[in-house]
Amino acid sequence: MRGLMNKLVSRSLSVAGKWQQQQLRRLNIHEYQGADLMNKYGINVPKGVAVSTIDEVKEAVKSAFPNENELVVKSQILAGGRGLGTFQNGFKGGVHIVKADQVEDIAGKMLGQILVTKQTGPQGKVVGKVYLCEKLSLVNEMYFAITLDRKAAGPLIIACSKGGTSIEDLAEKYPDMIIKVPVDVFKGITDEDAARVVDGLAPKVADRNDSIEQVKKLYKLFCERDCTLLEINPLAETSSNQLVAADAKLNFDDNAAFRQKEIFALRDPSQEDPREVAAAKADLNYIGLDGEIGCMVNGAGLAMATMDIIKFHGGTPANFLDVGGNASEGQVVEAFKILTSDDKVKAILVNIFGGIMKCDVIASGIVNAAKQVALKVPVVVRLEGTNVDQGKRILKESGMTLITAEDLDDAAEKAVKAASK
C-alpha cells in the first residue's frame, strides 16, 4: 500500500510540475524588437529595419541600405524554423538572402501571408512585418544563451563553440563542446565568469577582452529586463573581427510586467492564441489543448485532477481553465465565451469546489452566460462546498438543460459520454 501511495504521489507531483510549467506565461518578442533592445545595451547586432508595407520596403532599401548589393529578408513571426517554413501561398522559406533589387518582390510574397513552420502547427502564423538586415560576412558561428536554472538557483549561461543549429542538435553532436556557467545572482557576473564563457565559445578572430565585455552586457540585459531566456544562435564572428548577435530570441517573465511596461508594450496579440489573449484580459488562467471536453474549474490542483479523470474515462480535455478562488460573475461569463469559441469542444464540464469561490456565484455566472452565449453543447455541472444549496437552486430555477453530477468521477463519466454523442 505504501509503495502504491508513493507512486501516486510521485505521479501527481510530476503532473503538477508539467501543468505548472505550462501555466507560466512568458512574453515573447519579435527578432527586430530584440535586436533594438540589445543595441540599446551596447551589444553588437546587424543593422536592420522592420517594415510592414511595400512602400516602407522601398524607402528602407533606399535610405538605410543605399550601398548594399545584398540584403537578408526575414519574416517576423513568434515561432522558430522560419527559414525552412512554407507559406500557405506556396512560397518557400521565411528567410532569404537576395539582391537589393529583389527585396521588394520577396517581401511582397511574405507580408500579410501565413507562414507554416515546425513550431506553428498547420494553422501557421501571419507575417505582419519583415525585417531587412545587412548581409554580414561571417567567419565563425557559435551558440550562446542565458536561462534560469532551478538546480543552480539562478541564471545559467550556456555556450558552445559550434552554432547555427538548434541546441538539441548541438547537444547530440557536440556534447563535450557545451559549457555551462552558473552565475551567483547576488554577486552578479564576474570577469572570471565572463572569461569562462568566452573560453567556451573559443572565438577565432574577435578580441577576447571585447568578447568578455559583450557577455557582461548580455547578462546585464538579462537581469535588468527580467528575462527568462536570452538565446543567440548564432553568436557570430564577422570578417571585421567583431562578435555579433546575428539572431536572438528573448522571453520575459510576465510577473515583471508591472515594472517592465516598455517591454510589455511590445506584445503582439496577433501572434498569440486569441482565446488566451481573451482569458488574460479577463484575468483567467487558460491554456488551449487539443481535446473535446471544455473544463472550467477553480484551482490548479482541482483542474489537474479533473483533466486526469477525464482521461481515465476515455476523454481528452480541450483546455486548462482555472477561474481562481475569487472569480466574479462576469469572469465566469467570459470563461464560458472562451470555452464555446472552440469548435472542437463537444461538451463542457464545470467542476467547482466552493471554498473562497462560492457556488452561487458560479451558478449565476453559468445562467447569465447561457443568456449571452448560444450553448450548443451539453454542460455537466458538479458543485460542492460554500453555498452549494443556493447554487443548485439557482441552476434548477433557471430552466436550463444541464447535466448534474454528484461527484468528480460521476461528472467526468457523464462529460465523456455527452461528448461522444
| Active centre residues (catalytic) | 143, 231
Buried b / exposed e over 45-69, threshold 16 CB at 10 Å, is bbebbbbeeeebbeebbeebbeebe
Q: Is position 356 annotated in a ligand binding site?
A: yes
Q: Is position 74 annotated in a ligand binding site?
A: yes
Q: Is position 184 annotated in a ligand binding site?
A: no
248-253 and 243-245 beta bridge pairing = unpaired
Residue pair 243/237 in contact by the 8 Å Cβ criterion? yes
Our measurement of the distance from residue 330's CA atom to the centroid of its chain's CA atoms, rounded to an integer in Å, reads 27
Q: Is 209 left (phi over 0), alpha (psi -120 to 50) or beta?
A: alpha
Q: Is position 141 annotated in a ligand binding site?
A: yes
Q: Is position 233 annotated in a ligand binding site?
A: yes
Q: Is position 83 annotated in a ligand binding site?
A: yes
> What separation in angstroms does the CA of 234 have from each of 26, 35, 111, 159?
22, 13, 25, 11
Q: Is position 82 annotated in a ligand binding site?
A: yes
Q: Is position 210 annotated in a ligand binding site?
A: no
Burial of 335 (0-12, 13-18, 19+ CB in 10 A): buried
Q: Is position 357 annotated in a ligand binding site?
A: yes
Q: Is position 285 annotated in a ligand binding site?
A: no
Q: Show binding-site residues for ATP.
A: 74, 81-83, 141
Specify binding-site residues for Mg(2+). 233, 247
Residues at the binding site for substrate are 298, 355-357
